[in-house]
Copies of this chain bind each other. A is one copy, B any other.
Amino acid sequence: MSDAVVIAVDLGGSSMKGALVSSSGATIATESRATPDTDVVDALVGLVHHLADTAADLGHPVVAAAVVTPGMVDESTGSVIYASNLDWRDVPLLELLQARIDLPVAVGHDVRAAGLAEQLLGAARGSRDFVLVPIGTGVAAALVTAGHTITGALGAGGEVGHIPVVPGGEPCPCGQRGCLEVYASGGGVARRYAARGGAPLTSRQIVARLGADPLADEVWGDAVRVLAQGLAILTLLLDPRVIVIGGGFAHAGEALLGPVRAELSGLLAWRDSPRVVPSLLGGEAGRTGAAILAFRAAGMGEVVDAWSTTTVPA
C-alpha cells in the first residue's frame, strides 16, 4: 500500500491553497483555487473532494483533512468567530466541513498553524518560546510561550499588526490610529510612499529604490523603526528565544533584518535582544501547519517527528 496522505488547505481571502502531504512529509500534489465571493464552504468541500480523487488516482489512502483559516478562530470548537477578509461571523466551520467530508477533519488558525510548522520544522525548531511575525499586506503573529500558542479568551490574540505604537498616529484602515501595520507592512509602505507624492509602487519596488530615492529611504526607515519598536514590545512582554519574520515583506532580506536587529538592540537597554531570523518555510508554513493538524486528527501526529525541512511542502 502506498504512503498515507492528508489533505491540507490554507484558506485565504484571495486563494485556497490545497495539497496532499504524505506521512513522510512529501507533497504529492497541490491544487489552488481562487476564493469565491460567496459559498466559500461549498468551494472548500469541492477542493477537498477533488484532492481526495487525486489521491485515489495516485493510489494513496487519505487519512484526514485540515483547513486553516484567517480571523478569530475558536480552536476548541473549530468555529470562526470573525474573519474580515472572508466576511464571516460565527461560522461553525468544523461542523459544516465534517458533515460533508467522510474523514477526520481539523480546523485551525492560519498563522498559529504556520507557527506550529516553524516550531516543529522551521526557523524556530526546538524552541518553546518564540514569535512568528508574517509581514505581507498586513502583519499577523503566532505568539508561542512555553510551547503553547496564545489564542486568548476570544481566539483573538496575536494581533501584532494593530497594536498602537505611535500615539495619535496615522489612521489605519481598521479604524484605529498608529497601528504597527500602518507603517511596517507591505500595504503600509506602499500607501505611505504614494501619500507622500511617490509613484504607485509595491513595497518590493520601493525596497529596490533604497539608497537612490530619498522618499523610499524615509518610508522604509519608518517601517524599520516601527517594526523594531513592535519587536521590542514583544520581547519585553513575552521574552522569546527567537523572532521569526515571514511573509512577503521578508523578501527584503537583510535590507530589512539587518537594520531591524540594530534598531531593536538599541531600544533594549538592559536585556539582550532575541535572535531575529527569516522564516524557513515561507508561504508554505500555513499549509504545512494544516498538514500537521490533519495528521494529528488522524491519530498519527508522531509522523511529523521524522520530517525535516528538506521534505516539507516546497
Structural contact, B150 and A238, CB atoms closer than 8 A: yes
Scan A140-158; emit 1 where CB is below 8 A from any B CB, else 0: 0101011010111111111
> How far apart sit A232 and B164, CA to CA, in the bound complex (Å)?
7
The size of the chain A interface, using a CB distance under 8 A, is: 46
Separation of A285 and B266 alpha carbons in the complex (Å): 35
A160 touches B241 (CB 8 A): no
A77 interface residue (CB < 8 Å to B):
no
* A225 CB-CB contact with B under 8 Å: yes
Q: What is the bound-complex CA distance between A233 and B128, given in angstroms? A: 23
Query: Which A residues, 196 to 237, have Cβ-Cβ distances below 8 Å to chain B?
Result: 225-226, 229, 232-234, 236-237
Interface string of A21-42 (1 = CB under 8 A from B): 0000000000000000000000
Q: Does A102 interact with chain B (Cβ within 8 Å)?
A: no
- Is A311 on the interface with B (CB-CB < 8 A)? no
Tell me the number of copies of this protein. Answer: 2
Known interface pairs A156-B271, A233-B233, A237-B158. Does A148 touch B148 (Cβ–Cβ under 8 Å)? yes
- A237 touching B153, Cβ below 8 Å: no
- Bound-complex Cα distance A167 to B169 (A): 11
Q: Is the CB of A157 within 8 A of B233?
A: no
* Chain A residues close to B by CB (< 8 Å): 127-129, 141, 143, 145-146, 148, 150-160, 162-167, 174-176, 225-226, 229, 232-234, 236-241, 267-271, 274
B236 near A153: Cβ-Cβ < 8 Å: no
- Which one of B129, B267, B269 lies within 8 Å of A153 (CB-CB)? B129
A157-B145 CB under 8 A given contacts A150-B237, A233-B233, A237-B150: yes
**Residue of A163, A229, A236, A268 with most partner-chain B CB within 10 A:** A236
Q: Report the bound CA distance from A225 to B146 in whole Å.
A: 32
Q: A236 contacts B267, CB within 8 Å?
A: no
Contacts A166-B167, A167-B165 given; does A145 touch B156 at CB 8 Å:
no
- A40–B296 Cα distance when bound, in Å, is 50
Task: Determine the residue in chain B with the shortest Cβ distance to A271.
Answer: B156
Q: Pick the contact of A174 from B128, B153, B270 — CB < 8 Å?
A: B270
A174 to B268 CA separation, bound complex (whole angstroms): 10
Contact yes or no, B155 A239, CB < 8 A: yes
